[in-house]
């Protein structure tokens, strides 16, 4: 761990040296860097970046264009303190679009993800499908760390990520095609159009398609057991598990090819110079397929492939069955989301700004599982079908109380519903072979809210933000099972209220310096899955608790930004978050577990960043995050006390160079992430084995050339140094993509 920390500090030191050495030169060049963009997420109103009461990171359209972006995570790879894995990235193992993440060490379920200001988290589990946003339609992304339940309610303990899509303010038509090789083998294609007519009518339309061949990334390992050896085999590789238990690598699960479709259609109409209405629909669908597994074992006598039986490996007994090659195969898999929205943005009188929006998102999510008696391509299984939906509406009014006060106030409604059915299948590879319903659950949750924030201009140099939000959360649900354990339960409606206050201050002692401080409380309501689902896997039953209470957080932070010149800026933030009522699994017996509110934890850390224009044609951006997380209390698992939170790396360092010289453009980015733990007891310390979560550095590069204003070409290399690392799945090796972009 000390070595990892030194790596992060070393990269940051290099960045700071570059800043100091080049600041004077940048000033002499006469070029300026725009360091004060307009943001909306931190205050729910338009504010300059320097006035925002948080360390906001903005990923704008130019940043997105420089990335080799297939899905959302690809453009967030340099955000300070943001850890992403798996399905967030377009060149990852690919499978589903949901994925783990954390912001300042706070996991995804406690970090709010918004699309145009409305939540897109799954109504069952609280996870996010990172494929839902259509990359070509993203105008910018605002990442706002810290406690923001005072403005946004549930889930905003770690912060808010707001994806803001394009509006039809100009005519734009683009067509893109992309081809990938090696671990990125496949094709992308998209068309996108937006326009604004003189009569005030604007429209946006786009369609995208992605197809990936996938690569081998999921492996089969087997531990030796006591007893007499069986058929001698060769080809096994002696390794350990991520916990250090001796085991053998005996095969892999093949590849998982997939394709994804995105589509969007939006209409806007200007009623007058100040008021507009809008409506639209977004659609996303992902399908995953499979190829045959591979066994690495051969009969020592005949050389024939071996994939089952009682075997002898290095004089040890190993038992292998077909189930070992199907146990973790969530296939076939289908994931889709359709989002409908309408809204109004305008004025009432001369000084009152009124905003109304309503959005509904309908999600489909299903996958199949094999039973222990099934073969790789046939046999009994089950289909987990979990359609769910979310409804969000907000009415917001912004107005000046007097010359020193601007008040933002509003009402909000959020509803989640899920109706899961688990079907028995006569053929686990065929979702249509349903024979009966085995079990299921329904959950309905609704939150009604009122919020207000007063922006006080105490002096010309000092702004103070006082705000709070009252949320009333109600939930009800039921579950049933017609297989053991047989039964059904109807849970009555219950409700819990939460008040989330926050106070922030932004002080500008001079034009080159901004200081910030804040204190706030936040919460996260349990998901329907936390409350009502009872599942059984490999002989262990895990039950939800319908009486779970919301998880809660208290955060304070302080920091600021400092400019050496118009072309050089450094930022620094210290934060401290205390979490309580955390939901953990308590082991009731050897075969039963229960979700309970059992935990307390703390997360504190430091974020450092530097932005500089090294030359007229070259920019540098660097950041370093130290994230210190600790479990303070856990009645469900006392051995986890004093250990780090899962999905929370201790060190994250990023450095990037962006160049633009004539028709040529290029980027070179490096990102270091230290080891993370998957188990609450932090027992998974071994790296470089299937299922581990390795410390690793990824270097990506992209080179582009503009033949004209309408035709561009680019080639990108991901994992330039071809580093082998696992983030449970094996991460992609070095891969290349080439793209052509036609814009009119």
pLDDT attached to residue 328: 65
pLDDT digits (tens, 9 = 90+) for 292-340: 999 999 999 999 999 999 999 999 999 998 888 887 666 668 889 999 9
Alpha carbons 738 and 178: distance in angstroms, whole number:
6
**What is the C-alpha radius of gyration for the chain, rounded to an integer number of angstroms?**
26
For residue 643, pLDDT over 70 is answered with yes
Contact 504, 146 (CB under 8 A): no
How many CA atoms within 13 Å lie on the side-chain side of 492? 1
pLDDT digits (tens, 9 = 90+) for 558-602: 999 999 888 999 999 999 999 999 998 888 777 788 889 999 999
Q: In this structure, is residue 317 part of a structural domain?
A: no
Contact 126, 157 (CB under 8 A): no
Among the residue ranges 29-43, 453-467, 684-698, the one predicted with the least confidence is 29-43
How many CA atoms within 13 Å lie on the side-chain side of 265? 3
Count of C-beta atoms within a 10 Å radius of residue 482: 14
Q: In this structure, is residue 50 part of a structural domain?
A: yes
pLDDT digits (tens, 9 = 90+) for 99-144: 678 999 999 889 999 999 999 998 888 888 888 889 999 999 999 9
Q: Which domain holds residue 633?
A: 2-218+253-290+329-743
For residue 62, pLDDT over 90 is answered with no
Which residues, at least 6 apart from 459, have a Cβ–Cβ distance to it below 8 Å? none
pLDDT attached to residue 87: 66
pTM, entire model? 0.92
Q: In this structure, is residue 228 part of a structural domain?
A: no
For residue 690, pLDDT over 70 is answered with yes
Listed residue (203, 210, 247) closest to 225, CA to CA: 247
- Number of domains into which the chain is organized: 1
Q: What values do phi and psi take at 167, rounded to 5?
A: -110, 155
CATH number at residue 704: 2.40.170.20
Q: In this structure, is residue 316 part of a structural domain?
A: no
Q: In this structure, is residue 726 part of a structural domain?
A: yes
For residue 217, pLDDT over 80 is answered with yes
Q: In this structure, is residue 305 part of a structural domain?
A: no
Q: In this structure, is residue 109 part of a structural domain?
A: yes
Q: Catalogue the E-assigned strands of 662-721.
A: 664-673, 696-706, 711-718
For residue 473, pLDDT over 90 is answered with yes
Q: In this structure, is residue 242 part of a structural domain?
A: no
pLDDT digits (tens, 9 = 90+) for 404-444: 999 999 999 999 999 999 999 999 989 999 999 999 999 99
- Average pLDDT over the chain reads 90
pLDDT attached to residue 18: 40
């Amino acid at each position: 761990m000390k070595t990892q920390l030194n790596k992060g500090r070393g990269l940051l030191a290099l960045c700071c040296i570059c800043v100091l050495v080049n600041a004077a030169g940048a000033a002499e060049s006469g070029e300026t860097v725009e360091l004060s963009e307009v943001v909306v997420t931190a205050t729910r109103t338009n504010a300059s970046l320097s006035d925002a009461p948080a360390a906001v990171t903005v990923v704008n359209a130019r940043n997105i264009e420089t990335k080799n972006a297939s899905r959302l995570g690809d453009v967030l790879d340099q955000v300070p303190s943001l850890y992403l894995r798996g399905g967030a990235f377009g060149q990852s193992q690919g499978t589903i679009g949901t994925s783990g993440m954390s912001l300042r060490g706070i996991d995804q379920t406690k970090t709010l993800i918004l699309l145009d200001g409305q939540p897109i988290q799954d109504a069952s589990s609280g996870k996010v499908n990172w494929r839902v946003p259509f990359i070509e339609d993203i105008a910018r992304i605002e990442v706002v760390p810290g406690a923001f339940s005072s403005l946004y309610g549930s889930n905003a303990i770690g912060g808010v990520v707001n994806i803001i899509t394009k509006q039809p303010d100009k005519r734009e038509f683009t067509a893109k095609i992309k081809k990938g090789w090696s671990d990125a083998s496949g094709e992308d294609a998209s068309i996108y159009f937006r326009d604004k007519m003189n009569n005030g009518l604007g429209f946006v339309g786009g369609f995208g398609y992605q197809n990936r061949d996938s690569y081998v990334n999921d492996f089969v390992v087997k531990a030796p057991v006591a007893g007499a050896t069986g058929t001698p085999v060769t080809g096994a590789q002696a390794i350990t598990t991520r916990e250090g238990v001796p085991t053998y690598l005996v095969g892999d699960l093949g590849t998982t090819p997939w394709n994804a479709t995105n589509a969007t259609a939006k209409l806007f109409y200007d009623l007058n110079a100040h008021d507009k209405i809008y409506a639209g629909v977004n659609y996303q669908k992902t399908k995953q397929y499979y190829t045959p597994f591979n066994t690495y074992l051969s009969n020592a006598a005949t050389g024939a492939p071996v994939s089952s039986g009682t075997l002898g490996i290095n004089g040890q007994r190993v038992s292998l069955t077909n189930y070992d090659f199907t146990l973790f195969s969530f296939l076939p898999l289908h994931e889709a989301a359709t989002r409908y929205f309408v809204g109004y943005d305008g004025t009432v009188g001369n000084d009152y700004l009124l905003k109304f929006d309503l959005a509904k998102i309908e999600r489909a999510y299903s996958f199949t599982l094999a039973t222990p008696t099934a073969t790789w391509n046939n046999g009994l299984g089950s289909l987990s079908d979990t359609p769910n939906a979310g409804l969000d509406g907000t009415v917001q009014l912004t107005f000046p109380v007097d010359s020193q006060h601007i008040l933002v106030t509003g009402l909000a409604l959020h509803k989640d519903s899920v109706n899961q059915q688990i079907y028995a299948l006569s053929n686990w590879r065929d979702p249509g072979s349903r024979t009966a319903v085995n079990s299921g659950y329904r959950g309905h949750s609704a939150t009604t809210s009122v919020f207000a924030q007063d922006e006080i201009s105490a002096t010309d140099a000092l702004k103070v933000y006082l705000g709070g939000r009252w949320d009333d959360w109600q939930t009800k649900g039921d579950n049933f099972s017609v297989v053991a354990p047989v039964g059904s339960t109807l849970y009555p409606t219950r409700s819990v209220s939460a008040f989330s206050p926050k106070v922030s201050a932004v002080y500008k002692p001079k034009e080159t310096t901004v200081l910030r401080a804040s204190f706030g409380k936040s919460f996260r309501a349990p998901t329907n899955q936390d409350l009502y689902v009872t599942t059984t896997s490999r002989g262990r039953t895990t039950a939800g608790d319908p009486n779970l209470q919301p998880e809660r957080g208290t955060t304070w932070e302080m920091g600021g930004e400092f400019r050496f010149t118009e072309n050089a800026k450094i930022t620094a933030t210290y934060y401290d978050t205390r979490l309580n009522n955390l939901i953990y699994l308590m082991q009731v017996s050897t075969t039963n577990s229960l979700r309970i509110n059992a935990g307390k934890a703390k997360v504190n850390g430091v974020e450092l960043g530097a932005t500089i224009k090294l030359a007229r044609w070259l920019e540098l951006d660097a950041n370093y995050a130290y994230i210190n997380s600790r479990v303070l209390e856990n009645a469900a698992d006392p051995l986890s006390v004093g250990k780090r939170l899962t999905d929370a790396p201790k060190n994250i360092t990023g450095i990037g160079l962006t160049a633009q010289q004539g028709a040529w453009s290029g980027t070179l980015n490096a990102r270091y992430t230290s080891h993370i733990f998957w188990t609450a007891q932090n027992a998974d310390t071994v790296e470089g084995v299937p299922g581990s979560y390795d410390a690793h550095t990824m270097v990506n590069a992209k080179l582009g050339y503009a033949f004209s204003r309408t035709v561009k070409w680019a080639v990108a290399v991901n994992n330039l140094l071809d580093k082998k690392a696992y983030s449970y799945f094996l991460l992609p090796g070095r891969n290349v993509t080439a793209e052509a972009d036609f814009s009119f």
